[in-house]
Structure 1
Amino acid sequence: MASHRRPKQPSRTRVTVLTATAAAAVALSAQSASADPQPSKTDVKTKVDKLHEEAEQATEKYNGAKEKQEKLEKQVGELQDKVARGQEELNKLRDGLGSMATAQYRSGSIDPTLQLLLSSDPDSYLEKASTLNQLSAKQADTLQQIAAKQRTLRQERAEATGKLADLESTRKALGERKSEVQGKLAEARDLLNTLTAKERAEVLGESDAAGQADKGGAKGGTDGSRAGRSESRPDLGKALPTSQRAGSALSAAQSKIGSPYVWGATGPNSFDCSGLTSWAYAQAGVTLPRISQDQANAGTRIYDQGSLKPGDLVIFYGDLHHVGLYAGNGQVLHAPRSGTNVRYEPMSNMPFQFGVRVG
């Protein structure tokens, strides 16, 4: 017989528990959503500034590794050429020694005393014997040359092998620094993309730099179409450079205002910080080292900001990873960071370490 009992209704206690559980789930969901809000413009700026500073540090390390690689490649090439020439000289010495040995063998191996007794022309024999003695002395000299050349070649080959190992290590470091720079810039770009175009421009510090992020690395971003565009020029005061070369370097850098910052770039259409200063001084006939840490030792250091003159190098941050040109009245002309252009900026925006007056 079928059961006609009514289904059991949930108890008041069970309903209460289920309701409380659902309410708790909704509350947790709301709490979770509020715990992960979009970062504010201030937060983004702080993080982006930090990432760009770290990227510039890595950029200067990249520049140093690249410079070292180029020097090592040149040294390795010269050593390899030297070894090849030395081997050629050694082969010639060996060939000459072989020819002398063959001549001796063909002259016969009869005892010289017996040859004298049997000779019908003692005078002729003595003349030949004298030639043979001279040949032996020459042969001994050739052997000494061969031994010396072999020692030299061993040393040169060992040096070349060491340089090649150093080159391989430098290439590896170069790749690591490149990946580090690209990673920092990608992270900064992602953060900037959470902002509006106007906010991005404000964070980057340029009204027309909204959304720009360095995608090209050392081989990209060479469009110099914005170089020399209209910029608001700050009051640079009336101080004069201490030398014609310093003035020429500053003028050269001023002609590149508006050119984009590109890490690893040395001009003429895009620059990183030390790329701009080295390019500017090159236009004045002065060769500066490639990286900011080395440029810090390129002249006389000036620790008093009040003693700086236009055209002096100005070094920033404790590890000296940023450099620009003093423009006057507390302003620096520099290539600031990825996403910006060559521009003037108050020196107070960065931790100044010292100036360098290039001799």
Structure 2
Amino acid sequence: MSSSRLPSALARAADAVRRGPHSTPPDGQRRTRRLAIGDPQADFTRFLAILDHQGLLGPDGWLRPEVQLLSVGDHFDWGRPAEREEAATSALHLVAWMAAHPADQAVLLLGNHDLGRVGELAGFTDARFAAAQAEADGIYRGEDTDEARERDFLTRYPELPNVELAARDFGNFREVQRDWVAYLLRAGRFRVAHAAAEHLLVLHAGVTREDLRVVGLPESHQAHAPTVADALNQALATAVAHWKEGPFSMPGLHQPGSATYGEGRGIFYHRPSLLPQDAAHRAATPRRRFDPHRLPPGLTQVVGHTRDKRTRELLAMPREGYRDGVLRYLVTDGTTLQYSLGTPPPTGPGEAVLIFTDGGMRESPVEAFELFDLNGHQEGQG
């Protein structure tokens, strides 16, 4: 493949950033190749190289006209402390490049790192965040973090739930990123979910039966992806319409963290867990862990957010043999559960499916990183 496609795309992205926050409206063109890509928390050049390896980039630096690309969320925050400035700039170019495509060609779905810009970080300036991060860097030591120093830190930065968020989780924050996220939320460009087929839903971290009851969907409607996507996206639109200032939230679905509330909770933080110590966290929405047996039967959800190693840990499976870059799936009938690499076999109306696309883009070799083919998915019998 010609290497000229990547410089063209980088130039397009730089132009999009210079224009400032904007969104290109849908153009209604039919897309014959539809793919979902897992969390793009990696250098923008690597993201483009993956697309180019898949034959998705045109010589003009845009997605080919026949391609529809769904990004499952988490466009910010990666790398070591020495890479923060590079990562912050790279992520902004990625979001701007996606937003410059027609809205029905490049679909931007929300992740918890995207929402962090208008959540926990809603009131920070670059200078205040830099000061907080410098202090957090001196305190954060994983499980060995000094609790007394952390409590003192939180008295001065009560918007944050812990020092880890400033030092690591949301470590690449810049005000300009928040400007873009806020604009794309108000423009309706950032969405919660996308229905790719009658029973195929794409979103960041998955929803359970209880989450869908929050948006008024009885179980009889929870296998129909267009109905689910409409309900979740309408909940987002309603929350955005009521959001004037301060941290953005969605009642029952998303609550950002703070020193008093603790870590953020809701459907953008979701991870399936069978660990006994997570039982309390699975009890009620919004939450950070969910029981995978409570996934809506008959619905296949394409998600990101959780890599193979972490998924195995939370499902109480051996972590040996985990792999980056590859697609994975979980199937449950509400009682039994299967987790494996690859894509799922055909399923029936009583089975729920998660397809995981977060392959650790930064660590995976470009040629090994798999995208999910939305056209190739065989609908179940739901």
TM-score when scaled to structure 1?
Answer: 0.26
TM-score when scaled to structure 2?
Answer: 0.25
Greater gyration radius: 1
Pick the structure with more strand per residue. 2
Pick the structure with more helix per residue. 1
